């Protein structure tokens, strides 16, 4: 019985879900819409990713194997986020980039899986894009921006 009480006490002491950590300041973005407006503008899958921080199935996006020249924009607000020359095939099943367009992507922390990951979202509308990891190409930035294709809109380069 003492072991159970000790275990429960330790769990309470080391619980990382305190109310202090849950109170985060809500960010205000240049483009804000009601939930109903986002739902009417976005497909169901884009809404799930951009507004609910969901994840699309790997290898399901046609943008994963898109090698055309152009720019990848936010599917929610059309902000340019990534350039095609920074895209690479990571083999993970999601479009991957070694860098973002500075100032257009914002970062936060995601603890949904029980450990911290660096989350990426559109700096203009706050839409969830994916996550950034430190296992990208060493010859460039070393970063892998692992982005949900449904959160992106590809705009081809003008010739």
Query: CA–CA separation, 149 vs 46, rounded Å?
Result: 9
Helix, coil or strand: residue 36 = helix
Residue 108's H or E segment, with its range, is: strand 105-110
Q: Which uninterrupted H or E stretch holds 4?
A: helix 2-13
DSSP state of 11: H
Catalytic option among 77, 122, 125, 146: 146
What are the backbone angles phi and psi of residue 39, rounded to the nearest 5°? -60, -40
Collapsing DSSP to helix, strand or coil, 45 comes out as helix
Please, are residues 157 and 84 in contact by the beta-carbon 8 Å criterion?
yes
74 part of the active site: no
Catalytic machinery residues: 146
């Amino acid at each position: 019985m003492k072991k159970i009480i000790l275990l429960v006490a330790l769990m309470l002491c080391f619980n990382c879900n305190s109310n202090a950590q849950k109170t985060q300041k809500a960010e205000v973005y240049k483009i804000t819409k009601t939930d109903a407006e986002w739902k009417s503008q976005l497909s169901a899958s884009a809404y799930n990713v951009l507004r609910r921080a969901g994840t699309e199935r790997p290898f399901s996006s046609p943008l994963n194997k898109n090698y055309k020249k152009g720019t990848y924009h936010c599917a929610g607000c059309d902000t340019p986020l990534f350039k095609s020359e920074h895209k690479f095939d990571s083999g993970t099943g999601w479009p991957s980039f070694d860098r973002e367009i500075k100032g257009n992507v914002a970062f936060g922390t995601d603890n949904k899986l029980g450990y911290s990951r660096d989350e990426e979202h559109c700096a203009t509308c706050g839409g969830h894009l994916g996550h950034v990891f430190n296992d990208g190409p060493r010859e460039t930035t070393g970063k892998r921006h692992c982005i949900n294709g449904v959160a992106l809109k590809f705009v081809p380069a003008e010739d």
